[in-house]
Amino acid sequence: MDREQAVARLETLVDRVERETMPVPVREVWAFGDVALGLDPVERLDVYLTKDVIMGGDSDAAANFAAEYGVKGVGTSVHAEWAEAHPDRVRTSDNGYAAPEKCLAAELVDDSEARSASGSRAKPDDSEPIHLEVCNASFEDNVRQRLKGALARDAYEEVLDPRGVCLWVDGTRDEEAFDRLREASLAMPTLSAALGMLGADENVANEAAETLKRRRAEQEGASVRGDMV
């Protein structure tokens, strides 16, 4: 998508997080990758969401939804109000529990890789190349945790691109961030340089950057990755 379209898509996404009931509480929205680098066109729109856990839960809603759809975790993993209003958007993990990251993807983008509560597949939408990263930790904390784990295991595909821009946090939108994305006026280092600033050795940083580049080239359409720190 072109840059103007990409930034407009980010604004729409933040609008929805701000105004609508989401599957889980969302605390932060970040943009990273191509759109933060000022590229035009943007090959993939990378978005990071920090989610909060649902406090208290609703055991009655969980039992009712499980009885009707065979999906566990509604009312505890995802909001019962949201699931009951949108059962076609409820997505599950392999163990049959509602998966917060997949439900967010089904709500905000077209998550064609996940199965709905009714057993049907979401309609693919390969024309919208959006990737969501969903985690309980903030973007900055998760960048460091992912890098630490990747370096320990030589699993460079797990690295999270640290070149991000915070768009919305705890109900407050950063309009200046949107303006700077639209103007492509943010100065960002190369990926290997950014990883080096976080403590990676030069050779390791270069290898990790190449690994992420190859991985991104293989991605198509909408995708989502969930993480827990």
For the chain, domain boundaries: 3-54+100-227
Residue indicated by tokens 């889980």: 24
Name the DSSP class of 95: T
DSSP 54: P
- Which DSSP helix (H) or strand (E) runs through 47? strand 45-51
- The pLDDT, as a whole number, for residue 122 is 41
Residue 53: its pLDDT value, please?
83
Rounded to two decimals, the pTM is 0.90
Helix (H, G, I), strand (E, B) or coil at 206: helix
227 φ, ψ (degrees, to nearest 5): -145, 150
Q: What is the pLDDT at residue 127? A: 64
Maximum CA extent, the chain: 54
Gap between the Cα atoms of 94 and 92, Å rounded: 7
pLDDT along the chain (229 residues), means of 10: 95 96 96 95 96 81 89 92 93 93 92 44 59 96 96 94 97 96 94 95 95 88 89
Residue 220: what pLDDT?
Answer: 84
Q: Residue 167 in 3-state DSSP?
A: strand
Residues 6+ apart with CB under 8 A from 169: 27, 28, 29
Residue 49 main-chain phi, psi, to 5 deg:
-120, 125
pLDDT at 110: 66
Count of C-beta atoms within a 10 Å radius of residue 214? 11
Q: Locate 137 and state its tokens.
A: 């930790």
Torsional class of 89: left (φ above 0), alpha (ψ -120 to 50), beta (otherwise): alpha
